[in-house]
Amino acid sequence: MGRLKRLKKIRIHREGTHTLAGSLVLILAVNTALYFGLECKVPFYVVAVISLIVYGILVNFFRCPIRLFGQETEKVVVAPADGKIVVIEETEEPEYFKDRRLQVSIFMNIFNVHINWFPVNGIVKYFKYHKGNFAAAYLPKSSTENERTSIVIETGDGQEILMRQIAGAMARRIVSYAPVGEISRQDKHAGFIKFGSRVDLFLPLGTQIEVRLGQKTVGSQTIIGRFSKTNQK
């Protein structure tokens, strides 16, 4: 019963409908041709099994779980994506803030949900798309050299954070739903990245970080950090 309830909270993301429909048509066409075109059915059975596995991976990739952040949201930063924490460090943010920030990065492999959620409640103050390379997203240089989008959100108490969507070696499309002026909520989708990627957060110095390197995150659920009263803005 519990598993059934969880399944009812999962749907297919709109970014995957065309891909899944096209893949299904192709798979059916190939398998039908093999079934009726070959006397020996062994190749058909092999291809059919491989087709089911590949299509299952695609369906899993484009799944869209319905999540609500049920805790106190004030001064809280939640994970913008499913994945694993690969960076926690103080660094220079050269694009928007041009000063020192706390960087927390989440790497998403191909089996993770690839929806991105807004990490804080507020309003989008800045958005920019950057063309770039498609190096492995776990590499540090991907934050400044890969195809990416930068989204700055200002909270109700004036804190600003930067969320950066980064395409990886397999990712070839970043989708963002965060134009300037968009109201952000922690259970609202900020975008989608196809096939392996990374999300960076740049937080004010003094933010209390509540995750550790290597920790797995759940988008819109895992608390990344909390703003303190002494945070720089």
Per-residue model confidence as pLDDT tens digits over 62-98? 888 888 888 888 899 999 999 999 999 999 999 999 9
109-162, pLDDT tens digit by residue? 888 888 899 999 999 999 999 988 777 776 777 777 888 999 999 999 999 999
Distance CA 173, CA 149 (A): 11
In angstroms, what is the C-alpha Rg of the chain?
20
Residue 128 tokens, joined: 């920019």
Domain coordinates in residue numbering, the chain: 2-65, 76-226
The type of residue at 10 is I
CATH class of 76-226: mainly beta
Distance CA 78, CA 70 (A): 11
DSSP string across 120-143 = SSEEEEEEEEE--B---TTSTTHH
Q: Which of 105, 150, 197, 220 is catalytic?
A: 197
Distance CA 209, CA 133 (A): 30
Q: What 3 state SS string does 143-205 have?
A: HHHECEEEEEEECCCCCEEEEEEEECCCCCCEEECCCCCCEECCCCEEEEECCCEEEEEEECC
Q: pTM for the whole thing?
A: 0.81
Mean pLDDT confidence for 40-54: 91
167-204, pLDDT tens digit by residue? 876 656 788 999 999 999 998 999 988 766 889 999 99
DSSP string across 199-232 = EEEEE-TT-EE---TT-EE-TTTSEEEE--TT--
* 24 pLDDT higher than 50: yes
Does the annotation mark 143 as catalytic? no
